[in-house]
Structure 1
C-alpha cells in the first residue's frame, strides 16, 4: 500500500520558464509537506535530469521559449517504458490539453490554477505512479523467485535421475505419486506421465506405510 508519507517523499520536478510560477508551485508543495521538490526554468535540461533522477512527477509548463513543453515530452518519452509519461501539464490554452494527453501526459491543470485542484491532481498522480512502480517491483521479485525455484527443481530432478535407485515421491494426504525418477520408471516399466497421480497400492507398491518400512 502507498502511504501519505510515500507520496510526500516522491520526487517532483517543476519546469516553467517564469521564475514566479516556479516559486509559487515550490512554496505550495513544500508547505503542504512534499520533501523532494526540484525545479528549473530551462526546459533543455529536463531530459538529462530525468534520465539521472527518474522523477515520480514532472509539472510541466507547455508554453516556453526555445523548447516547448511538447518538445520536452518528446525528449523524455524514450526514457519511459510505460505508455504514459509522469507529466502534469500546465497550460492556459484549452486545445493544448488534448495534444498533451495524446503525447502521453497523464493529466493537466489550467492557468490560472486553483491550489486545491493542483494538490489533488498531484496527489492522485503520485499515488498511481508509486503504486504502479511498487507492482512492477513486486512482479520483478516474483519472476526472480520463480526462476530460482525452477533452477532448484531442475537441479533436484537431475540429482534424482542420476541415481540408479528407484525414487518415488508421494503426497502425504492422498498417497498419490507426485514425482518419480528414471530408476522408478525402469523398475515398473511405465513412463513417468502414466505413473504420476497413481496411488502406490494401485501400481503394486503396497501401502505408503509399507513403503516407508521397506525404505527403512
Structure 2
C-alpha cells in the first residue's frame, strides 16, 4: 500500500482491449487536445493516491501504476488491484473508467458531497439521462467497498458488488456519463469538446 494517507483517493481503470475501436489504446485517443486518460486524471486533482490500473503511459499527473490480477480479468479485477494501493485510512475512493471525456472538475466533488450527505450509503454513482447507474463513475466509502469485494473477481460484473453498497444516485450534468466505445462515440465526443 502507498504510504500517504488522505481522506480521498482515486482508482482509474485504463485497461481493456477496445475491440470496437479496432484494438487501439483507447485511453490515449485525443479529445479536445488531451487524451481520454489525461482528461480523467485532470478531474481527480487532489486525490491521494491517484492509482491507474493499466499499462504505464506518459501522463501529466503523479500516479501509481498497477495491473489487475489476473491480467485481462475485467473491471472488477481492476478495481481490486487499484484498492490494494489505497491506504486503509482513506475514507472515500473515486472509481472512474478512463473513457468518459466529459467529466468536469465539478463531477467528483458532487459525487463526494452526495455520499457524505447520506451516511447509510456505501457510495454515490452517476446515472445517465435514462436513469441507468454508471458503475464506473462513482465515489465509494473505501472500507465498505473493500468489504464487498468478492473472493473471485475474474470476469465478474462490477454491478453486483457496487449495487450491494446501496449507492446514492447523482443526476448528470450535460454529457458527463457519455463514454467512448465506438468510432461514432469518439466523433461525438470530439464534436462536444
TM-score (structure 2 length as normaliser): 0.30
| Structure with the higher strand share, 1 or 2 | 2
| Higher helix proportion (structure 1 or 2) | 1
TM-score by length of 1: 0.28
Higher radius of gyration, 1 or 2: 1
